[in-house]
Structure 1
């Protein structure tokens, strides 16, 4: 039963959080935008609290449910750094990240977000097909 309800509850909480954020601040939630605010703009308290909440919330859930994440193989630090930089460049080029476009943009029926999310999904499917 948990395999059905955990994702459902998680999805509902994500929807609730994005709705509260949009209604209270007039902004959509997108991790790349929030991280950019934290690193490069004034008024860094709210973005800091948001990202700290993601880290603390995920860690607390893992501790309380005694779940661990097993990484199947080690990755080169250089590969991770280059991958992170490419993802960062892609989010700037695409005007947002998967969370911003996929969660907030699609729910607002943004044409740009519908196209961006479709492209994300197609590229992800191709990438998994090639790497596996």
Structure 2
């Protein structure tokens, strides 16, 4: 499969993610995952605005809102995505991608609203499923976890179904 000139090879990136996952297990004995990190970030924000309420939530009694390795991984992912886009032909300042605009119009508010709703659904699913796409799809699959392979199949079925529903591909 040929990749677009100027972009990062998906094979190289996949190999690097696999090596990162193996190194994470080796050095920290932890899986490569981010859903708990997002929950910790939400707890940190909750502490800024309403500490008493956040501290009384059962989840945050067990999982303290703090900056730890997973939070730093999320920040590193954002930085890495920026570097990858800046060093390839993928860097854009468009708030509404062309495919979205063609199907739903040029409305930034609709695009951002749908991104927020989609993110909220994914976050809820990650908490409900005991892990996110990286936790199940990378770390769990690497460990040959049956539940992670089932989750991975469900991720792909949902993604393909959603793409067909939204874009009628």
TM-score tier, shorter chain, comes to 0.7 to 0.9
Matching residue of 1:26:
29
The structure richer in helix per residue is 1
TM-score, length basis structure 1: 0.83
Structure 1 gap segments, 5+ residues each: none
Shift of 1:36: 2.4
1:52 is aligned to 2:75:
yes
Q: CA deviation at 1:61?
A: 2.2
1:110 is aligned to 145
1:14 aligns with 2:35: no
Q: Which residue of 2 aligns with 1:78?
A: 113
Residue 82 (structure 1) shift: 2.0
Aligned CA RMSD, in angstroms, stands at 2.4
Q: What are the superposed Cα offsets for residues 58-116 of structure 1, whole Å, 9 maximum, x if unpaired?
A: 21222223432551224513322222211111111111111111111111110110111
Residue 12 of structure 1 and its aligned partner are, at CA, apart by 1.0
